[in-house]
């Protein structure tokens, strides 16, 4: 007889907190449809990120700026239909929460009703009032700091954040402020590995890194990047997991194993 794989239990926020406390890396990948939601869930991915990166990978835009709330709601519904046990995190797109908190609240509720388990907002101290209101209303929030793609017109390009002393202090201040406001998770994008690891130790909530080294509670990458099918810019922090894999499922499983075993990311994928 062959050993049957024990079905995975539903991944909940409490599951992710326990993983963080126990030092078990959290695995996240972007996902935009039902078919891949099913595949990623079966491969053992803990969190599915319905990212506004779909503006680039799915819609063919050069940035995430054009993505609408309707886009995010549609793709969240698709992912929710294909998923069984993974935790779904959905991005709030540009313009959906910056105008006022009332509009931000309404749009977050739309995404939760569409199937998201948590919403992600870019920004630091300036979004804390909205984070407090969302948390009080029972909406789990993930903060996103460091390089924030929705601010690319202000930042001026794809640049690492937090390299200077003042930049490092800003990251610490923003992360602690988000946690104090009620954020249940913080994502660091394109920040030096040492500062991401240091801030992770200061927080009691899980952290997720993308181009932030191995010292965070978990890792996230763009699905199309690990499958080497995105025609756009290949970021330093990503890796082609199709190399050595005999299928897409195998590539995703290799990514899961690499993150869980802490073999990814390496120093070459960090700043």
Residue 209 has phi, psi (to 5 degrees) of -115, 145
Burial per residue of 108-121, b for 16 or more beta-carbon CB atoms within 10 angstroms, e otherwise = bebbbebbbbbbbb
CA distance 248 to 254: 10
Task: Give the Cα separation of 132 and 141 in Å (integer).
Answer: 9
Q: Which residues are catalytic?
A: 189
For the domain made up of 13-269, give the CATH fold.
TIM Barrel (3.20.20)
pLDDT given for residue 2 in this prediction: 45
Determine phi and psi for 155, rounding to 5 degrees: -70, -35
Residue in 48, 27, 40 with CA at minimum distance from that of residue 258: 27
120 labeled part of a ligand binding site: yes
pLDDT at residue 175 in the model: 98
* pLDDT tens-digit series, residues 213-252: 999 999 999 999 999 998 777 899 999 999 999 999 999 9
The CA distance from 205 to 207, in Å, is 7
The percent of residues in the chain predicted with pLDDT above 90, rounded, is: 87
Query: Binning pLDDT at 50, 70 and 90, where does residue 112 land?
Result: very high
On whether 52 is known to bind a ligand per the annotation, the reply is yes
**pLDDT band for position 4 (cuts 50, 70, 90):** low
Single pTM value for the model: 0.95
Q: Is 43 in contact with 253 (CB distance < 8 Å)?
A: yes
Residue 263 marked as a ligand binder: no
As a whole number, the mean pLDDT across the chain is: 94
- Per-residue pLDDT band at 102 (split at 50, 70, 90): very high
CA nearest neighbour of 208 among 191, 230, 223 = 191
What value does the mean pLDDT take over residues 21-39?
Answer: 98
Contacts of 100 (CB under 8 A, 6+ apart): none
Q: Between vectors from CA 214 to CA 212 and to CA 215, what angle results, nearest 5°?
A: 90
pLDDT in tens, 135-162: 999 999 999 999 998 988 887 777 788 8
> Is 174 annotated in some ligand binding site?
no
The Cα 104–Cα 95 span in angstroms is 9
């Amino acid at each position: 007889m062959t050993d049957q794989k024990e079905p995975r239990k539903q991944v909940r926020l409490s599951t992710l907190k326990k993983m963080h406390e126990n030092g078990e890396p959290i695995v996240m990948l972007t996902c935009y449809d039902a078919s891949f939601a099913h595949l990623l869930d079966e491969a053992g991915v803990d969190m599915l990120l319905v990212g506004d990166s779909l503006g680039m990978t799915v819609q063919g835009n050069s940035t995430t700026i054009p993505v609408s709330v309707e886009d995010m709601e549609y793709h969240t519904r698709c992912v929710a239909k294909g998923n069984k046990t993974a935790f779904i995190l959905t991005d709030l797109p540009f313009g959906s929460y910056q105008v006022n908190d009332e509009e931000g609240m309404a749009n977050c509720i739309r995404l939760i009703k569409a199937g998201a388990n948590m919403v992600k907002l870019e920004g630091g101290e300036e979004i804390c009032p909205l984070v407090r209101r969302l948390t009080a209303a029972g909406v789990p929030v993930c903060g996103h700091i460091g390089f924030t793609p929705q601010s690319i017109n202000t930042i001026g390009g794809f640049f690492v954040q937090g390299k200077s002393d003042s930049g490092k202090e800003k990251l610490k201040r923003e992360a602690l402020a988000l946690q104090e406001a009620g954020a249940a998770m913080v994502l660091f994008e394109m920040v030096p590995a040492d500062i991401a690891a240091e801030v992770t130790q200061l927080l009691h909530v899980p952290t997720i890194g993308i181009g932030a080294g191995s010292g965070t509670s978990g890792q996230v990458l763009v699905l199309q990047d690990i499958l080497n099918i995105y025609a756009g810019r290949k970021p330093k922090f990503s890796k082609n997991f199709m190399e050595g894999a005999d299928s897409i499922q195998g590539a995703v499983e290799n990514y899961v194993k690499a993150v869980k075993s802490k073999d990814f990311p390496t120093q070459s994928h960090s700043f």
